[in-house]
Structure 1
Amino acid sequence: MSFTPFQAPLLAPLLGDARAASLFSVRADLDAMLAFEVALARAESSCGVIDPEAASAIERAADVFQPDVAAIGAGVERDGVAIPEFVRQLKLHVGAPHGRHVHYGSTSQDVVDTSLILRLRALIGLYREDLERLIAGLEDLRLRFGATMMPGRTRMQLAVRISAADRITAWLSPLERALERLADFEPRLLVLQFGGPAGNLHVLGERGPKVAEALARELGLGRPEGQWQAQRDRIAEFAAWISLTAGSLGKFGQDIALMAQNEIAEIGLTGGGGSSAMPHKPNPVKAEVLVSLARFEATLLAGMHQSLIHEQERSGAAWTLEWLLLPQMCVGLGAALRLAGNLTGSIERIGPSPERSTS
């Protein structure tokens, strides 16, 4: 078993999501870092901090810049972050006399955090599309099967009769609220991080706020009041939303797995998983994995809340913990949304099977 199941050859087809994983690839991260440096040069040029010729030179060089990934990796082992070596290489590539203007007034955390936000912006777009498709699929199921009457259960025991629409609505409504929550916190999350060495833009002096405003415009991000390099509530709020959404999908998966039991048979599914020893068993694999992913996300969320604790103006330890946890949470939710969509499409019947109702 691989220690990275989201990208392991044997487990990734089930647990992974290639779209989400691609946004945490080396290429995606470096591209976003480079976009930050180019946008910074443009912003500083527009505010009179560096010459327009320098900004143009940096932009031209960035178009053909091929960073040495192995050297950057060695730099991370030494420096704890990729940016010192990345910037060193970019300055050499730009060359004299304009290379010295690369990264001017910025710091490593500005680049790393803004790279993350740029990639989360793309990820949120994927999540929104998946949620909207899933909601439409559940609404279709409610339209097709909603009038069917079936046993309701409380504490896993028979209660009173309910309609299939009652249960489908319990799957659907939390996902609609997930979209509402996403729209609410998205403007708080998708903002520029730009504070310079200690967060107060002291290198840029009185021109700092203008550069920050221009940089936010260049990148299409919001401009918060000040920097947030040691204020990780935005990231933790996003992680909490991931866990909430995955938990709602886990409830859907748990219900499906229970309804699919042979002795209950309250749902008809296509494409169940097979058994190596019992060919009569169509295992509800996708439903089970939704439960696993929900529990996984809830477990990692506790760690993300630990990463809120930053010392003074920057913490290497809390920041590194965030790097360990957040990408897994993001890919896990991508997988859960994919599996939930596939599972919804495999439902052929909701309610007691005709065989059982006539037996």
Structure 2
Amino acid sequence: MTDLYWPGDHLAGDLMSDAAFLAAMVAVEQAWLGILVDAGIAPRDALADLTVSDGDAEAVARHADVDGNPVSALVAILRGRSEPSTARWLHRGLTSQDVLDTAVIICVRDVLIRIGVECAAQVRALADLAERHRSTPALARTLTQAALPSTLGAKIARWLDGVLDAAEPLAGLRTSLPVQVGGAVGTLAASTELAGSVDDAIALSDALAERVRLAPALPWHTTRSTITRIGDALVTCCDAWGHISTDVATGSRPEVGELSEGSGGGSSTMPHKNNPVRSVLIRRAAITAGPLGATLHAASAASVDERSDGAWHAEWATLRTLARHTVVAAAHTSELVSGLRIDDSRAAANLAAADGLLSEQRSMSELTGRTALPDYTGAADRFVDAVLSRARRFIEEAR
């Protein structure tokens, strides 16, 4: 895919693309057809390899507005290319939402795998930076102004803590992504009729989960917490990366000069510029992720009856956009933290030039009557240790 409106979109590759979505829907139909045959419900000659061609995505898209989703158009194409026995049994017992929701979840799984890889790289890079700069003196700022002495290690450890907060839940989310099989109104009525009993119908659903490597689940067609949990996880990642990129962009200003990107961007008219482009693009994703996540929550809240009239439909493009933007931001953040340059001497100079930094320390000493400690960084080093310990556990578990 290419997207001139979103520089870097190519870094997401085929993830959540039309081609990936179409392939996932076909995979669901293929798996279900095989399950019906294996269960003895459909005859052996109904089994066939379902395929699509390069132009099918456009054909499906052009006909999707007839029924309001792409599944009906896809099923029509697949049936038209199949032998009569295959066409007769294809999609039987499923409804469009089963195929679409399960296909979306398959696509999301690939997204979460990619983001997990990027997060692991970020944790390793940030842990190394925090260790190397744990004692590097630096100025801490609050509300844009000089505040107290601190260390660059403490700042980087906070970045790392945020990335870990985002990364740790991803593995559990990825392994619990559920299949969606409910039939027309979520009661498995058609599957029960085909299989002969409720237990056998549920067994068909579980078999589909196994074939497409998702978790077995009861129908969640009107309970959209599965989608909002995915959205929240993606937004949390973008939040963490946005914090890092904002600090780097601010720290790279010439008047600050403590941080810089390993390879900045240029200007079409100003050759002297070395723009923090990675930080800019990450911040863009962080700014837009929250509203996309909020749209998923609004759609969930608007769920009605046994299939929503617009709320369900609002999820698809929203989730795709959020997912691809998050993958791009993940790649940019990995590049940013792995190549980040830190100017220790500039950090020390900015700290030395700030006035009044020890006023709080003096007031504390006056209250206690004790001699002031040699530095005023409190538990910063202990905090770095705690975050590094957490990072080591994460890296070990990720292997």
For 1:3, the equivalent position in structure 2 comes to: none
Write the distance in 2 (CA, Å) between the matches of 1:336 and 1:116. 21
User: 2:98 aligned with 1:110, yes or no?
Assistant: yes
Write the distance in 1 (CA, Å) between the matches of 2:298 and 2:347. 52
**What secondary structure sits across from 2:141 in the alignment?**
strand
For 1:143, the equivalent position in structure 2 comes to: 131
Change (3 A) 1:353 1:117: same
Q: CA deviation at 1:66?
A: 6.8
Moved more, 345-354 or 228-237: 345-354
Name structure 1 gaps, 5 residues minimum.
1-5
What does 1:1-359 correspond to in 2, within 5 Å? 7-9=2-4, 11-12=5-6, 14-19=7-12, 21-55=13-47, 58-59=48-49, 62-63=50-51, 68-188=56-176, 190-205=177-192, 206=197, 207-224=200-217, 226-308=218-300, 309-353=302-346, 356=349
Q: CA deviation at 1:283?
A: 1.8
Write the distance in 2 (CA, Å) between the matches of 1:64 and 1:241. 32
Verify the 8 A CA contact 1:106 1:197 in the aligned structure 2.
yes
The TM-score, its normalising length taken from structure 2, stands at 0.81
- Corresponding letter in the other structure for 2:298: Q
Verify the 8 A CA contact 1:164 1:350 in the aligned structure 2.
no
Alignment identity in percent?
26
Verify the 8 A CA contact 2:251 2:259 in the aligned structure 1.
yes
For 2:389, the equivalent position in structure 1 comes to: none
- Corresponding letter in the other structure for 1:210: A
Q: CA deviation at 1:219?
A: 1.2
The TM-score, its normalising length taken from structure 1, stands at 0.89
Moved more, 263-272 or 315-324: 263-272
Write the distance in 2 (CA, Å) between the matches of 1:98 and 1:210. 22
Verify the 8 A CA contact 2:188 2:201 in the aligned structure 1.
yes
Q: Which has the larger radius of gyration?
A: 2
Moved more, 104-113 or 337-346: 337-346
Write the distance in 2 (CA, Å) between the matches of 1:30 and 1:235. 19
For 2:361, the equivalent position in structure 1 comes to: none
Name structure 2 gaps, 5 residues minimum.
354-399
Q: CA deviation at 1:280?
A: 3.0
- Corresponding letter in the other structure for 1:244: T
Change (3 A) 1:306 1:93: same
Verify the 8 A CA contact 1:191 1:222 in the aligned structure 2.
yes
Verify the 8 A CA contact 1:150 1:352 in the aligned structure 2.
no
For 2:358, the equivalent position in structure 1 comes to: none
Q: CA deviation at 1:15?
A: 4.1
Q: CA deviation at 1:268?
A: 3.8
Write the distance in 2 (CA, Å) between the matches of 1:353 and 1:342. 23
**What secondary structure sits across from 2:186 in the alignment?**
coil
Q: CA deviation at 1:64?
A: 7.0
Write the distance in 2 (CA, Å) between the matches of 1:22 and 1:193. 23
**What secondary structure sits across from 2:188 in the alignment?**
coil
